[in-house]
Structure 1
C-alpha cells in the first residue's frame, strides 16, 4: 500500500468540500428548497459523509483537527447563508402581499 501525503488528503477533502459548496450555491430555486425535502436530505447526506471523512483523516493523523473543523464550519456557514437568504426572500414576498 502506498503512503498518502497529508497535502494530497487535504486536497481531496477540499475538492469534496468545494463540490458540496457548489451543490448548495446552485440551489437558486427557493420554492424547491422550501417545499422539497430532497435537497435537504441530499445536503445532510453529503455533509454527514464529509464529516466522517474529516474525522477519519484527523484520526489517522493526516489532517489537523483545526483544519477539518474549519472545512466543516465553512460548509455549514454556506448552508446557513442559503437558508437565511431563502427566509428573507420569503419574508419580503409576504410583506409585499405575495403568498410565499
Structure 2
C-alpha cells in the first residue's frame, strides 16, 4: 500500500478491540504511516495494558512514533506517563490538519 495513512485512535478501554485494530493496522502499513492518539486512547496507552504497550513498541521499532494530544494528556495528568513511553505530545488540532493537507488519508478507530 503506497498511500500515506493517518491512523487516529480514539477508542479507549471500553472499546479496546477497536484501538488494537487501529494500532495493528498501523503496524502493517508502510513507514510513512502516522498514528495519533486522542482522548480515551491516551488513557489506554498510559495504562499498563501489555497488548497496547506491545503494539506501541512495535510501531516505534518501525520508526513510527505515535502523537498524543497535549491538551487531553495534561488535563488527565497522563502526559508524564506518555512521555515516559516516548510518545510525542502535541496540540492535535493542528497536527491532523497538517497531515491531511500533506495528503494523508485519515482512518479513525
TM-score normalised according to structure 1 size: 0.35
Q: Which has the higher helix share?
A: 1
More strand by share: 2
State TM-score, norm by structure 2: 0.33
